[in-house]
Amino acid sequence: MSVNLCLVIVISASICYVLGMVNGDTGTSLLSMRGIVKGFSGVAALKGVDLDVRAGEVHCVLGQNGAGKSTLIKILSGAYQPDAGEILWNGEPVIISSPFAAIGLGIATMYQELDVVNGLTIAENIFLGHETATMGVLNRRRATRETRELLTRLGHGDLSPNREVGTLSAAGKQIVSMARALSHDTRLIVMDEPSAVLDAEEVRNLFRVVHELTAQGIAVIYISHRLEEIRQIGDRITVLKDGMSVASDLEVASTPTPELIHLMTGRTLEHAFPPRPGVAADAPVVLDVEGLSLRATFADVSFQVRAGEVVGLAGLVGSGRSEILEAIYGARKPTAGTVRLGDRLLKPGSVRDAVSAGIGLSPEERKSQGLLLEEPLYRNVTLSTIARFARLGVLDERRERRATAEQLDALEVRPSNPDRLAGTLSGGNQQKIMLARWLVHGTKVLLLDEPTRGVDVGARAEIYALIRRLAEAGTALVVVSSEIEEVLGLADRVLVISDGRVIETTDASAIDEHGVLDLVMKGTAA
Amino acid sequence: MSEPTPIPVAEVAVLGTPQLAGEAPPSALRRFLSGGTGRNLGLVIALAVIVGVGALTAGDRFLNFENFLTIVRAASIVGVITVGMTFVITSGGIDLSVGSVLGLSTVVASTAAVQAAAKETSWLLLVVVAIAVGAAAGFVNGIVIAYGRVVPFMATLAMLVAASGLAELISDRKTLIINNTDFLNFFRGGLLGVPALIWIFAIVAVAGWFLLGRTTFGRRTVALGGNYEAARLAGLKVKRHIVALYVLAGATAGIAGFMMMGRTSVGTSTHGGGYELDAIAAVVVGGTLLIGGRGTIVGTVFGVLIFQTLINIFTQNNLSTSVQAITKGVIIVVAVLLQQRFAARGSRST
C-alpha cells in the first residue's frame, strides 16, 4: 500500500472503536447496541446505530466528526439516555441510567480530557469515590498496595502510588485513568482518542497495555483519528456516518483502507497533500529567527522563512516544537535570541508587538487558546482587528459581519453565517475561523500549531489546500504537527527538533518519516 | 440597599406596569423579545410578578408614580455601582471593594480642605474628587490584579479592608457634614419631575449599556471573560484592559459616593457598607455570568429594580428587614438555578 494512501488514512479524522482480539471462549456479545437513536432539541445525533462488542476483543468504530461518536460514548457511559433502541449486556437488556450505573455494569470510559484530579496522589485518584476505608477512616496502606498492583499490571510498577498526579505527563495520567478503570470490576474500557496526546514511544506502550487488557478478557473500545493505529491493534470495525452505522463488524485485516475512507466520507480521497511548486529563489526572507532560546526548553534555534515558504518543525511531543512557536509569537519570553520580521526587531515576549508586526498564531488548543466558543463567528474573526471595525471606539457590527462572511465564503465554511456560535462548528471549520482571523488581519507570517488536530478527513484536505494557497499568496508559514508525515507532506523545508535543538534542516522531499525518527533517536541519545 | 421610604400620597396612578405584566400589544412584546434583550424575558416576568404582588398587598400606596420614583431613587446609588460591577464580572473578575471605596470617596470629598476649595471654585469639585478617589482605588486594584497576579477576590478584599480603614483614619471616625448648599441643592432638585439621583443612574446605565455592547472596550471585556488565553493570544492588551476595568468599577463607586453625599449631606466611612454584595447579587440575578464571558447591563438594571421593588413592598407591608434578607437570599438562588437550566438547554453535543 502506498505511503500516500496510508497518510490519507492517518489524516482521516475518524472515530474508531477497536474491539480486541478474541481471546476466548464465547461467541456471545458482551455488549450489543441495537437501533440506538438520540436527538437533541429536534436535531438527531444518532439515527440508528448498531454496535456489537465481544468479551476480550477489539472493534473499531470509524466516522467523521459529527458522525455521532461523542453521543454514542456518552450513552455507553450513562451520561445520556437513548431515545430509542436497546442495549444488551451479556445478553440481558439493561438501562445505563447514570455514570454510576455504567461503572456498576463494568463499563469504564477514558475521556479525551482526562478526568483525573491533579492535586491528589495516584492512589487517591484511583480510589476516588470508592475509597478503601473502614468505617469512614481511610485505609491508606491498602490503597497504596492495590494501586501498586494495578500499576504493575499495566506495566508501570515504577510509578509511586503516592506521586501527585499533577506532576505526571499526559501519558502518565492516562495510565492512572486506566488503573482507575481496572480498580472497578471492569469488563469494557472505552478509550476516546487516547493517542492524541502521546508521542510514538508512548503510543507503543499504550498498545502493549491494550493487548494486556484484552488478554485478560477485557474488551477495549478505542477511538483514534489515526487509521494506521487501527491496523496495528484493531480487529473489527464499525463505521458511523451521519448518526448511522453504515457498516458493522468489518474485519480489520481484510478491509482495505480506501474502502474505509469511502464508507466514512462517501467519496474516495486520493491526494491529501497539494503539490509544492517550490519557493522562488528571489523570494525575500520574511521571518528571521536567530539564536532563540528558552531556559530548560529549547536552545539556539535559528532559521529563516521566505515569503511563500512553508517551514515545518518535526519532532516528538516534548521536543520544544510548540514552545518555539510561542516564543516567536511572544507568548513566551525567550531567554536569548532575536526574532525579526523583515527589518523590524520584535520586542521579546510581546504578543502585541508580534501581532502588530504581522505574525499570527493558530494555537494547538483551539478551544482553550484560540476561540470564544460562546460568541458568534464574526466576533472571533475580528478579535485581533476590532479597532479597525470601530470609529472612536464605537463598533460597526455590520462591517464586521460583512468582512467575516467574505472570509467564510473564501474558506468554504458552510453555512457561511457570521452569527453562528464558534462552539457549534466542527474542528475543521474552527481551524478555518482561526485562519480567517489572521487573513482579516493581513499577517505576513502564520504560525500553525497542530493545524489538523481534531479535524476530520474531508476537512483536512481542505486545510492542506488552504495552507498551500496562503503560501502561494506570499505568506510565510511555520507548521508544527505531531504527525511527522503531515509536516513532510506540507512543508517545503523541515527542521528536525530533538530535545529543544534543531538537529537537521533539510528539504521536505529529501527525507521520509523513518529518516526523521532516525535523526530524533540519535539526537536524543547524544 | 434599603432605606426608610416615606409613603407617598397616591396621586398619579399611571405606572408602566401593564406593559411589564405582558399586556402590551404583542408586536411590541415580540420585538422586545427578539431583540438583544430577549434573554431578559425571565426578568420582565419576575418584575411583573413582584409588581403584581405589590399591587395586591399595598394597593394604591404601591401603585403610583411617586412610589415608582421612590423605588428607582432608592435603587439609583447601588444601581450605579452595579454598572461598573457588570463590567468587572463580565471580564471574569470581581470587585469586593466598591462599597468601602464608596465610603472612602465620600469621606475624602467631605474633608474641610476639599469643601473649602469647592467653596472657592465650584460644587462640582466634590463630584470630581469623589470620582477621582474611586478611580484611584480601582487603579490600585487593577495594578495588583493585572501585574501582581493576585486573584481579584483577594486583591479587592484587601482593598475593602484598607479603604475603610483609610476612610476611618481621614474622618477620625466622625461624620463629616457637607455644607456646600449648591451641591446639596442640586440633589434636592430634579429635571422634568424626576430627581437628580435617578437621572445620574439613568445616564450611567445607558452609558454602560453602550460601552459594553457597542464599543471595542465592551467587546474586549467580553472576550477577556470568555477566554482569557484566547484574548491574550489574539494580541489584546489584556493587562491594560484589566486595569481599565477596575478603574471603571472604582469610578462608579466614586459616582455612587457623591450621590450618597447628596442624599445624606454627610460623608462617613460607613457609607456603602455591604453594597458590594447587593451589587454582585443584582448583577448575577440580571443574567451576567459570574465566571465571565457574558454580561448584560439591561439585565443588571432589572436585577437592581427587582430587589428594590421587593424592599419597597416589604416596607409598605411593615415586614422586617430580616424577612427582606431571607427573601433576597431565596431570589438569588432561584435566579441562578434558572440560569443554569437555560444554560443546560442551550448546550448541545454530538
Model pLDDT for residues B82-99, shown as the tens digit of each residue: 999 999 999 999 999 999
Q: What's at B130, amino acid-wise? A: A
Nearest to A317 by CA among A508, A171, A167: A171
Residue B120: per-residue pLDDT: 86
Q: Do A370 and B233 touch (CB under 8 A)?
A: yes
- Chain B positions touching A435 (Cβ under 8 A) are none
- Top residue of A326, A367, A395 to mutate, by most chain B CBs within 10 Å, is A395
Phi-psi map region of A39: left, alpha, beta (phi>0 left; psi -120 to 50 alpha): beta
Considering CB atoms only, which of B215, B229, B232 is closest to A394? B215
Radius of gyration of chain B (CA): 20
- Chain A positions touching B207 (Cβ under 8 A) are none
pLDDT of B41 over the 60 cut: yes
Q: pLDDT tier at A335 (50, 70, 90 boundaries)?
A: very high
Q: pLDDT tier at A495 (50, 70, 90 boundaries)?
A: very high
Residue B192 distance to chain A (closest CA, Å)? 30
Considering CB atoms only, which of A43, A68, A361 is closest to B233? A361
Residue B52: per-residue pLDDT: 87
Residue A306: per-residue pLDDT: 92
Phi-psi map region of B319: left, alpha, beta (phi>0 left; psi -120 to 50 alpha): beta
Most confident option among A217-231, A260-274, B26-40, B258-272: B258-272
Chain A residues touching chain B at CB-CB below 8 Å: 40-41, 43, 45, 66, 68, 70-71, 74, 243, 329, 331, 351-352, 354-356, 361, 363, 368-375, 379, 383-384, 386-387, 390, 393-395, 424, 437
- Chain A positions touching B216 (Cβ under 8 A) are 386-387, 390, 393, 395
Residue B217 distance to chain A (closest CA, Å)? 7
- The tens digit of pLDDT for each residue in A256-301 reads 777 776 777 654 444 468 778 778 778 899 999 999 999 888 999 9
Residue B127 distance to chain A (closest CA, Å)? 26
- Top residue of A70, A383, A441 to mutate, by most chain B CBs within 10 Å, is A383
**Torsion angles phi and psi, residue A493, rounded to 5:** -130, 145
Nearest to A329 by CA among A300, A360, A292: A360
d(CA A355, CA A334): 17
Can you name the residues that pair with A310 across neighbouring β-strands? A477
| Class of residue A407 by CB neighbours under 10 A (exposed 0-12, middle 13-18, buried 19+) | buried
Residue B38: per-residue pLDDT: 54
Q: pLDDT tier at A524 (50, 70, 90 boundaries)?
A: low
Q: pLDDT tier at A437 (50, 70, 90 boundaries)?
A: very high
Average per-residue pLDDT for chain A: 82
| Position with higher pLDDT, A40 vs B125 | B125
In this structure, what DSSP letter does residue A366 have? Answer: I
pLDDT of A7 over the 80 cut: no
**Angle at CA B235, nearest 5°, toward B234 and B238?**
105
Q: Do B235 and A352 touch (CB under 8 A)?
A: yes
A325 and A480 Cβ atoms separated by less than 8 Å = yes
- The tens digit of pLDDT for each residue in B216-226 reads 999 999 999 98
Q: What's at B195, amino acid-wise? A: P
pLDDT of A18 over the 50 cut: no
In this structure, what DSSP letter does residue B25 have? Answer: -
In this structure, what DSSP letter does residue A164 have? Answer: B
Chain B residues touching chain A at CB-CB below 8 Å: 214-217, 219-220, 222-223, 226-227, 229-237, 293-294, 345, 348-350
Q: Do B234 and A355 touch (CB under 8 A)?
A: yes
Report, as an integer, the average pLDDT of B24-48: 58
**Which residues lie below 8 Å from residue A285, measured CB to CB, with a gap of 6+?**
A304, A305, A306
Residue A259: per-residue pLDDT: 77
| Position with higher pLDDT, A198 vs B3 | A198
Give the residue ranges of DSSP H helices in A184-307. Answer: 200-215, 227-233, 257-265
**C-beta neighbour count of A92 within 10 angstroms:** 8
A21 and A58 Cβ atoms separated by less than 8 Å = yes
Question: Measured in whole angstroms, how far is the alpha carbon of residue B172 from the centre of its chain?
Answer: 28
Q: Do A331 and B217 touch (CB under 8 A)?
A: no
**Torsion angles phi and psi, residue A458, rounded to 5:** -65, -40
Most confident option among A285-294, A475-484, B189-198: A285-294
Beta strands in A234-343 (DSSP E): 236-241, 244-251, 285-294, 298-306, 310-314, 336-341
Q: pLDDT tier at B141 (50, 70, 90 boundaries)?
A: very high
A273 and A464 Cβ atoms separated by less than 8 Å = yes
- Top residue of A46, A64, A72, A351 to mutate, by most chain B CBs within 10 Å, is A351
d(CA A371, CA A434): 8
**C-beta neighbour count of A18 within 10 angstroms:** 28
Q: pLDDT tier at B36 (50, 70, 90 boundaries)?
A: very low
d(CA B184, CA B187): 5
How many helices (H) and strands (E) are present in chain B, helices listed first?
16, 4
- Chain B positions touching A371 (Cβ under 8 A) are 227, 230
**Angle at CA A286, nearest 5°, toward A282 and A292?**
125
b/e per residue, A158-197, with b = 16+ CB within 10 A? ebebeeebeebeebbbbbbbbbbbbbbebbbbbbbbbbbb
pLDDT of B344 over the 50 cut: no
Residue A366 distance to chain B (closest CA, Å)? 8
Residue A41: per-residue pLDDT: 63
pLDDT of B167 over the 90 cut: yes
Residue A136: per-residue pLDDT: 66
- Chain B positions touching A331 (Cβ under 8 A) are 232-233
- Chain B positions touching A424 (Cβ under 8 A) are 348
**Which residues lie below 8 Å from residue B314, measured CB to CB, with a gap of 6+?**
B320, B321, B323, B324, B327
- The tens digit of pLDDT for each residue in A154-173 reads 878 888 888 888 888 878 88
Residue A68: per-residue pLDDT: 81
pLDDT of B45 over the 80 cut: yes
d(CA A4, CA A271): 8
pLDDT of A457 over the 70 cut: no
**Torsion angles phi and psi, residue A37, rounded to 5:** -125, 135
A56 and B340 Cβ atoms separated by less than 8 Å = no
Q: pLDDT tier at A525 (50, 70, 90 boundaries)?
A: very low
- Helix (H, G, I), strand (E, B), or coil: what is residue A19? strand
% of chain A residues with pLDDT over 90? 23
pLDDT of B113 over the 80 cut: yes
Residue A4: per-residue pLDDT: 54
- A&B contacts, CB < 8 Å: 83
- Chain A positions touching B237 (Cβ under 8 A) are 352
What are the Cα distances from residue B274, in Å, to A17, A389, B98, B134?
A: 56, 40, 9, 16
d(CA A383, CA A434): 10
% of chain A residues with pLDDT over 70? 88
pLDDT of B155 over the 70 cut: yes
- Chain A positions touching B232 (Cβ under 8 A) are 331, 351
Q: pLDDT tier at A142 (50, 70, 90 boundaries)?
A: confident
Sign of the torsion angle spanned by Cα atoms A100, A102, A104, A110: negative
Residue A196: per-residue pLDDT: 72
Considering CB atoms only, which of A70, A373, A383 is closest to B234? A383
Which grid coordinates are listed for A404? 467575516
Report, as an integer, the average pLDDT of A489-505: 89
Lowest mean pLDDT among A22-31, A379-388, B233-242: A22-31
Q: Do B234 and A374 touch (CB under 8 A)?
A: no
Q: Do B349 and A394 touch (CB under 8 A)?
A: no
- Write down the pTM of the prediction: 0.70
Report, as an integer, the average pLDDT of B272-283: 91
Element (H, E) at A4: helix A3-11
Considering CB atoms only, which of B219, B229, B233 is closest to A386? B219
- Top residue of A112, A375, A433, A443 to mutate, by most chain B CBs within 10 Å, is A375
Element (H, E) at A506: strand A501-507
- Chain B positions touching A386 (Cβ under 8 A) are 216, 219-220
Can you name the residues that pair with A189 across neighbouring β-strands? A108, A220
Q: Do A369 and B229 touch (CB under 8 A)?
A: yes
- Chain A positions touching B227 (Cβ under 8 A) are 368-369, 371-373
Considering CB atoms only, which of B230, B236, B293 is closest to A369? B230
- Chain B positions touching A394 (Cβ under 8 A) are 214-215
pLDDT of B189 over the 90 cut: no
Residue A20: per-residue pLDDT: 34
A71 and A49 Cβ atoms separated by less than 8 Å = no
- The tens digit of pLDDT for each residue in A355-377 reads 999 999 999 888 888 999 888 99
Q: Do A373 and B226 touch (CB under 8 A)?
A: yes
The torsion defined by the Cα of A176, A181, A184 and A189, in degrees rounded to 10, comes to -160
Q: pLDDT tier at B204 (50, 70, 90 boundaries)?
A: very high
Q: pLDDT tier at A66 (50, 70, 90 boundaries)?
A: low
Q: Do A40 and B350 touch (CB under 8 A)?
A: yes
**Torsion angles phi and psi, residue B295, rounded to 5:** -145, 150
A244 and A49 Cβ atoms separated by less than 8 Å = yes
What are the Cα distances from residue B99, in Å, to A238, B78, B89, B250, B260?
A: 62, 9, 16, 10, 11
d(CA B134, CA B140): 10
Closest Cα in chain B to A447? B233
Q: pLDDT tier at B271 (50, 70, 90 boundaries)?
A: very high
Report, as an integer, the average pLDDT of A398-424: 87
Considering CB atoms only, which of B215, B232, B236 is closest to A395? B215
How many helices (H) and strands (E) are present in chain A, helices listed first?
17, 25
A163 and A187 Cβ atoms separated by less than 8 Å = no
Residue listed under C-alpha cell 531567554: A335
Q: Do B214 and A40 touch (CB under 8 A)?
A: no
